[in-house]
């Protein structure tokens, strides 16, 4: 009997982190994260000199602590240099985490950053 309990405890310990890592999309009872701190990207001198304007679309996961997960994916590129600046900026953003059943969960979001010359 002790061996069965030990095995169940080990299995539970291994499964719990996997369940905690599940990523949700907003909707169907999942509330989207809310932005609480935004950092603007650097518009590089070179990009300005080349007259680059447009947007960088990204997909990322907002963690249960409101931070942006390391794996930010550019889904629509503007320019490699500005894409990188957008990623650097978005990693500094902070959110009130998304929730499911009133508990913080990891949520997949799409973020758009626009670069416009004035």
Between CA 97 and CA 105 the distance in angstroms is 7
Q: Which residue range forms the structural domain that includes residue 43?
A: 24-115
> Is residue 10 situated within a structural domain?
no
Which contacts (CB < 8 Å, 24+ apart) does range 19-23 have?
20/64, 21/106, 22/105, 22/106, 23/61, 23/106, 23/107, 23/108
pLDDT value for 21: 80
Order of strands, sheet of 103-104, starting from the edge strand that comes earlier in the sequence: 30-31, 99-100, 103-104
Contact between residue 33 and residue 98 where contact means Cβ atoms under 8 Å apart: yes
> Is residue 66 situated within a structural domain?
yes
Least confident window among 14-18, 25-29, 68-72, 102-106:
14-18
> Is residue 18 situated within a structural domain?
no
pLDDT value for 6: 42
Number of domains within the chain: 1
Between CA 15 and CA 11 the distance in angstroms is 6
- For the segment 3-17, the average pLDDT, to the nearest whole number, is 46
> Is residue 3 situated within a structural domain?
no
> Is residue 88 situated within a structural domain?
yes
Q: State the CATH number of the domain containing residue 54.
A: 3.30.2420.10
> Is residue 49 situated within a structural domain?
yes
> Is residue 2 situated within a structural domain?
no
> Is residue 103 situated within a structural domain?
yes
31-41, pLDDT tens digit by residue?
999 999 999 99
- For the segment 2-16, the average pLDDT, to the nearest whole number, is 46
Whole-model pTM: value is: 0.80
43-100, pLDDT tens digit by residue?
999 999 999 999 999 999 999 999 999 999 999 999 999 999 999 999 999 999 999 9
- For the segment 5-17, the average pLDDT, to the nearest whole number, is 46
Between CA 93 and CA 39 the distance in angstroms is 6
102 vs 18, more confident = 102
- For the segment 13-25, the average pLDDT, to the nearest whole number, is 66
Between CA 109 and CA 62 the distance in angstroms is 7
């Amino acid at each position: 009997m002790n061996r069965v309990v030990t095995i169940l405890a080990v299995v539970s310990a291994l499964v719990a982190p996997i369940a905690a890592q599940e990523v949700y999309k907003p909707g169907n009872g999942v509330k989207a994260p809310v932005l609480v701190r935004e950092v603007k990207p650097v518009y590089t001198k070179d990009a300005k000199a080349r007259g680059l304007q447009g947007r960088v679309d990204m997909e990322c996961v907002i963690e249960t602590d409101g931070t942006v997960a390391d794996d930010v994916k550019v889904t629509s590129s503007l320019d490699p240099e500005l894409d990188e600046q957008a990623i650097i900026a978005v990693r500094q953003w902070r959110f009130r985490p998304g929730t499911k059943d009133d508990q913080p969960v990891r949520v997949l979001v799409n973020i758009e950053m626009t670069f416009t010359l004035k």
